[in-house]
Amino acid sequence: MGWNDHVEFMETECQDCGEVDIWEYWDEVAKVRYGGENRHLGEMLGHDDNNSGRCPHCGSTKGTIVDD
């Protein structure tokens, strides 16, 4: 299993800046494998667990998932 198996990508509207974009939502397995004490592995792969559940434009954690 790779990184993408533990991260969901969902279209989300930011409640702070109003942008609609794809947000990353990391599960606990991804956070343990690629974040925290293992952050160096995530950094080597170009992933940052601080992006989980955050707007890629302003960094806010206030967002609403856009339903299809």
Residue 17 has pLDDT above 90, yes or no: yes
What are the distances in angstroms from CA 56 to CA 13, 20, 21, 38, 44? 11, 10, 8, 22, 20
- Residue 27: how many other CB atoms lie within 10 Å: 12
Q: Which 8-state DSSP code applies to residue 18?
A: -
Residue 65 has pLDDT above 90, yes or no: yes
Model pLDDT, residue 61: 97
Average pLDDT of 17-40? Answer: 88
Q: What is the pLDDT of the chain when averaged over all its residues?
A: 87
Q: What is the pTM of this model?
A: 0.79
Domain boundaries, the chain: 3-65
What is the edge-to-edge ordering of all strands in the sheet holding 7-14?
20-26, 7-14, 63-65
Q: How far apart are CA 54 and CA 57, in angstroms?
A: 9
Average pLDDT of 40-45? Answer: 78
